[in-house]
């Protein structure tokens, strides 16, 4: 009987591991989509699920390069790589490989194959990136043009979250203070609203830094945040369409709701 219980417990663990592994593999599909959008058509992206080696390709982007389709099997090189990892040790057992080869059409390819690990550090998948070196130079450079694009955005690269808060606050203050349609009595509220929708209040010291800079109390900032949260909660109940609930709202509900009575 004890043996049967142990077997049942093992089956439950295995089922949980398979479920977790499946979620990990699925999450890489979004990674692939982002990489493909960034690097462009000269690159082929392949996602393998090692649960079925005979039909391991579950996601394929720009497969016209190799002529493969989803449902195709794993490659011989990938199999050899997995064997080395499972054997353990040796100079060739790293969980990735970068190399230059030719595909079945004789096209030169610069490739990288990266192992995806799941529960128990088991190899559960492969992410492969193949750059076809005979691609037109235009396709290689198109996504790396320095010319302004219609969807051009700005991003702040810093080493300190306090600096991110400060820079974001100064930028928003400049926009709001320069907007004549916002009356002076509502400028602070407008600044807080914009920063809230930017997710700044997800940072640890945001409320303290912003309240100090604006010359208002922390409770005033909390009240504005609470008002925004309640606006979206009411919209959810009433069925009104206000767009998606901002990510910071889901975090601040617990963080702030008990601080304002």
Whole-angstrom Cα distance, residue 170 to residue 209?
12
Q: Read off the pLDDT of residues 31-65 as tens digits, 9 standing for 90 and up.
A: 999 999 999 999 999 999 999 999 999 999 999 99
Task: Find, among 24, 72, 19, 18, the residue nearest to 46 by Cα.
Answer: 72
- Please tell me the CATH code under which domain 2-144 is placed: 3.30.450.20
Tokens of 98: 């970068």
Nearest Cα residue to 208 out of 198, 197, 199, 219: 219
Distance CA(110)–CA(98), nearest Å, equals 8
Separation of alpha carbons 175 and 169, rounded Å: 10
| The model's pTM | 0.66
Q: For 191-234, what is each residue's pLDDT tens digit?
A: 999 999 999 999 989 999 999 999 999 999 999 999 988 887 76
């Amino acid at each position: 009987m004890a043996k049967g219980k142990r077997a049942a417990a093992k089956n439950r663990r295995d089922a949980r591991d398979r479920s977790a592994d499946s979620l990990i593999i699925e999450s890489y599909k979004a990674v692939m989509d982002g990489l493909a959008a960034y690097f462009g058509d000269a690159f082929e992206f392949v996602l393998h699920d090692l649960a079925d080696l005979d039909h391991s390709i579950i996601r394929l982007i720009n497969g016209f390069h190799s002529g493969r389709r989803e449902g195709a099997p794993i490659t011989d090189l990938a199999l050899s790589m997995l064997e080395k990892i499972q054997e353990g040790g040796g100079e060739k057992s790293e969980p990735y490989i970068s190399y230059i080869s030719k595909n079945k059409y004789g096209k030169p390819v610069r490739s990288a194959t990266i192992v995806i690990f799941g529960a128990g550090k088991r190899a559960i998948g492969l992410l492969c990136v193949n750059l076809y070196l005979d691609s037109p130079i235009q396709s290689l450079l198109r996504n790396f043009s320095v010319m302004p694009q219609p969807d051009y955005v700005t991003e702040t690269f810093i080493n300190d979250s306090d600096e991110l808060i400060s820079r974001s606050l100064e930028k928003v203050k400049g926009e709001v203070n320069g907007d004549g349609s916002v009356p002076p009595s509502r400028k602070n509220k407008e600044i807080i609203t914009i920063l809230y929708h930017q997710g700044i209040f997800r940072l640890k010291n945001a409320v303290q830094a912003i309240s100090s800079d604006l010359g208002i109390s922390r409770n005033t900032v909390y009240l504005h945040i609470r008002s925004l949260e309640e606006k979206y909660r009411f919209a959810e109940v009433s069925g009104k369409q206000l767009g998606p609930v901002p990510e910071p709202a889901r975090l601040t509900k617990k963080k702030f709701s008990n601080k304002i009575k």
